[in-house]
Amino acid sequence: MKKEFYTLDLFFLESDAQIAKAKLESEGIPAFIWEENLNYHTATSYSRIRLQVYKSQKDEALKVYEEIKSYARDKEGNLIVCPNCKATKSEKYYSRKGLFLKLFPFFESAKYRCMQCNFITRPEK
């Protein structure tokens, strides 16, 4: 019998994926990390570390993951609001275009991607 997987989230850093995996497994949900040997030098916006669970446990995994998922906040500590759909579930986004930003991603200006509609925005100044 073939097992089907659901990608719970994509991570730039393996350590973030490992923390989420550990939480899922502590709740009795088997979790798997794909492409975990990528590092921030080789990762691009198209190749990130995938945290996956069995499709049959998708709903359980999403409930557990929502408890630990941290969404982007502004300088005052308020959740970033998507200007497109008004959702408060955004994460930091790095396009990493060009060799320089792939090698030194901390020089890239801050951007946020809405987890609901995938709209990319810059923070207000």
Domain 5-68 in CATH 3.30.70? The answer is: yes
Query: How much is the pTM?
Result: 0.61
- Average pLDDT score over the chain: 83
Residue 36 has pLDDT above 70, yes or no: no
Higher pLDDT, 84 or 16: 84
Instruction: List the helix and strand counts (H, then E) for the chain.
Output: 3, 6
Categorize the per-residue pLDDT at 88 as very low, low, confident or very high, splitting at 50, 70 and 90.
confident
The ranges of the chain annotated as CATH 3.30.70 are 5-68
CA distances from 88 to 73, 79, 122 (A): 9, 6, 14
